[in-house]
Amino acid sequence: MLRPFEGRSDETDWVALREVVPAATAPLRLRAAPDRDVTLSTVLPLAWPAMVRTDGRVFLGLQVPSRSGDVSRDLAAALELALAAEPGTSITLPGLPGPGPRLQDLLDDAPLEITVHEGFDYWIEGAADGEEPGEDVAASMERANATVVPTVRLHGVQAAYWCRMKERAHLRWVLPEDEDEVLSALARIAADGGLGVGPDTRYVGAFRAHGLLVPVWDLPVDREAAALEEPVAALRARLDEALASTDALPPEARRARAGLMSRQLTLR
């Protein structure tokens, strides 16, 4: 399915957590059991689709391979298994999930409240009390922590994340609008020279993720996330104005659009 999270107001956040953010959690609220403690996690130990802690708390892993071609159905199948499992159980899918509910059917409509983490220590039940994980989980956590890129979620717009690589920092921003409309709007902005997000920044291209466009900017390595809040909010305002335009693209914008379309990226 091209857009597995379509229909949710936080569709872009689901895409960002699946494709952009290394370590993050968000509480989930079930329609049928609103008091059940369920947490979404970008990654779980040993790439489990889900797990149930000994205290009964359910964790659902988001960054797992799709089996059925519909990520939402796969995640719902893992969640249903976890909800029915005994405490202390790790969940594996026995095969392709058959027909059944999708995440949109199981979860209420409240938007995700995301917490970005520096690593995966939150996997460990009782870590704050000094409890030690099992050997397999500890090894998995060590490997996962070694891959975590420092990441910060921006507050002024939805689904925009600053991250710092070795030599550059980047802004990755999942946009909710139709890809063709976004490209045309970005082209209008680029033709006017307004596609930057502050001084010494550069739009480098975009990649597609679950039917949405994710533009990427290069930033100076010492540019912190807080410095992006104002210029990104200003760019969102320019984008909204460009999206609202019904005028045909002028020649300079058509040229800019062709250039934008040629700059497709592979995230990983």
Q: Which residue intervals of the chain bear CATH 3.30.70?
A: 153-262
CA dihedral 60, 63, 65, 67 (to 10 degrees): 40
CATH architecture of 153-262: 2-Layer Sandwich (3.30)
DSSP string over 189-226: HHHTT---SSTT-EEEEEEEETTEEEEEEEE-TT--GG
pLDDT of 166 > 90? The answer is no
Q: What pLDDT, in 10s, does the model give residues 27-76?
A: 999 999 999 999 999 999 999 999 999 999 999 999 998 888 899 999 99
* Mean pLDDT across 238-257: 95
Q: What pLDDT, in 10s, does the model give residues 39-51?
A: 999 999 999 999 9
Tell me the pLDDT of the chain averaged across its residues: 92
Q: What pLDDT, in 10s, does the model give residues 137-150?
A: 888 889 989 989 99
